[in-house]
Chain A
Amino acid sequence: MRMKKSNKIIFTILGIIVAAYTLFPFYLVVLNTFKNANGIVSNPIGFGGVSFSQLMTNISSVVNNSNFNFWYAFGTSVIITIISLVLLALFGGMAAWVICRNKTKWSTVIYMVFIASMIIPFQVVMLPLISTFRDVGQFVGISMLQSIPGIVFAYCGFGGAMTVFILTGFIKGIPYELEEAAAIDGCSPEGTFFRIIFPLLTPVITTVTILNGMWIWNDYLLPSLMLGQNGKVKTLPVAVQAFVGSYVKQWDLILTAALLAIIPMIVIFLIAQKQIMNGMVEGAIK
């Protein structure tokens, strides 16, 4: 282990250079939201023209913009993400438990279909999905497109396979004796699941919630197709896209909108950094 100290310095310098590169775009976003439109165009890198009151002006002009409707889009995104995550964890856990603990032909078939469906790209189902949702919605009188329940339903369908896959792998490792003991003590099957199995799933549910949450929060294509570009209900990515489309080259507004869109994610990352990074890795390895 010769040259250890100099190696350490070289590595650290290298690390700083790479970090500077990965963080540079974020730096530019934050910096330029402190400037007005002219300041951004004439001097996007330097500190010239930076003022705190300009930041407030930019934020208020974005937040109060009727095309962007930031708080409404933000709230819609939060509601869709949270309800989808709760339902996916609950229904996914229930389904995975049944699939795992019933060694019948049917449960194997269902499991195999779930696994196989994970290779289906969204593009191949998106067009018939929209028409099916529209037709079924009109037929039964429930608005499936342009509605929050409809999009939550779609996320439950699309996230189901991966959720069941990861949860099944975990439930297999829980000793069956636990459930037998509960049954002997007079616990019903549903009681066994909710009182014994579901609490034990906490770590793996954290993992699937992180994976699904990152996907649902950032997803653009599904909400843009289901809710429409100019529909009443908008998620944050759809709102950003619609906003940028209507304000070509107004970088002061666009960058402020981008900043507002990324802040929630970064705040959550700072709080649950370790869980998010571990969850992402576990999801990939399994």
Chain B
Amino acid sequence: MAENSKNTKLLSVVLLVAGIAGLVIALYLDFTRSSAAFRGPLLVIGAIAALLGLYFYPTVEHHRSIINFIFLFPLLFAFAVTVIIPLVLGIFYSFTDWNGIRLTSFVGFGNYVSMFKDPAFIWSILLTFLFVVFNMVLINIVGFLLALLCTSKMRGVNFFRASYFLPNLIGGIVLGYIWQFVFNNVLIQVTAKWGMVNSVLANTKTAFAAIIVVYVWQYAGYIMLIYVTGLTTVPKDVLEASSIDGADALTTLFRIKIPMIAATITICTFLTLTSAFKQFDVNMALTNGSGSVADFMGSYLTNGTQMIALNIYNTAITKNAYALGQAKAVFFFIVLACVSILQVRISNKKEVEM
């Protein structure tokens, strides 16, 4: 036993020393601007060796803490590098003239001022709010009605449920192109008979309606599933009691089912709210934000159907205005944070009432 522990200790120390040496050499090469190709792998191998050395270190007292550290490290490291550091940097960059690679000066709130002076961005904000309201209402109503349909005693419920949910499986980019085909090549043949020669996507207002239609089509099936789960938790005996008391279907719906799934309604409302805010893929693939607006705040706009997420993307990637795009993104983040705080408040209140 003593021999064994000695060996592990030796192994552990060797691994630790080698790992740390590897890390130091790799970092030294980095800082001296060496271009040796092995410095990358050396860094990774060094880190893994150091962690292994730590793991084999024969200690009863601290073993649990070492395990805790090793278990937390991979995810926390990835999380810090991909979320926390970019978030902090992003907020910082939004106050500078960052061009995606380097920055030369601070501009204070300059980006924020110029973004709110830009009619195209104000249009995107208003359009997004309109989109969110329409979607929240429509998706919840459609999803709820579908859930009622799927919990009614009809034949082939499973097939219907699966087919309503199916659009949700497919990514927004592919869906957007499929629907672009539907609107531009199929629907146009129908509308041409009524005298509408252009596709619905060619007109700003109908194109916006088309985005809503596609989004409801994609999302309602998912919301339906959540409502189905909510509706099945309504106790059978309560429903029986109401039918014995002579309540008709509508009364049961409004007086029993809807109040009893209030929590589900809250979840679905906020789910549709936040996802509609973030809508990007369908917007990009279906219209790419195009559409003309004759006069908005005194200027002619060409981004008639461009919502806020797409506006941020285009500002930064297409127009190369990184700092401005970042400032818009920070604004977007603040709006979403407010919505989320509101959601937590409302859910907590509900829980207290219950």
Contacts and interface: CB of A to CB of B under 8 A. Distances in A.
B277 to A, nearest CB: 8
A92 B75 contact: yes
Interface in B55-107: 63-64, 67-68, 71-72, 74-76, 78-87, 89-90, 93, 100-101
B166 interface: yes
Contacts of B273: none
Interface stretch (B8-16, B118-126, B218-226, B298-306): B218-226
B100 A127 contact: yes
Interface string A1-35: 10000011001101100110111111011001000
Nearest to A129: B86
Given A25-B179, A98-B68, A125-B83, A251 B75 contact: no
Interface centre among B71, B172, B226, B330 (most CB of A within 10 A): B71
Contact of A22 (B150, B156, B167, B312): B167
B172 A218 contact: yes
Interface stretch (B129-137, B157-165, B191-199, B201-209): B157-165
Given A110-B72, A157-B82, A44 B173 contact: no
Contacts of B81: 132, 136, 153, 157
Contacts of A178: none
Interface string A250-263: 01001100100110
Interface string B291-320: 000000000000000000100110011000
B136 to A, nearest CB: 15
Contact of B79 (A161, A251, A273): A161
A141 B178 contact: no
Interface of B: 26, 29-30, 35-37, 39-41, 43-44, 63-64, 67-68, 71-72, 74-76, 78-87, 89-90, 93, 100-101, 146, 149-150, 152-156, 159-175, 177-179, 181-182, 185-186, 189, 217, 221-222, 225-226, 228-229, 243, 264, 267, 271, 277-278, 280-281, 284-285, 309, 312-313, 316-317, 322, 325-326, 329-330, 332-333, 336-337, 340
Which A-B residue pairs are the 4 nearest by beta carbons? A157-B82, A218-B171, A141-B40, A142-B40
Given A28-B182, A117-B84, A281-B226, 19 more contacts: A11-B154, A25-B178, A32-B181, A44-B181, A121-B277, A123-B278, A125-B83, A127-B326, A128-B86, A129-B86, A132-B85, A139-B30, A158-B82, A160-B79, A188-B63, A255-B181, A262-B169, A265-B169, A266-B166
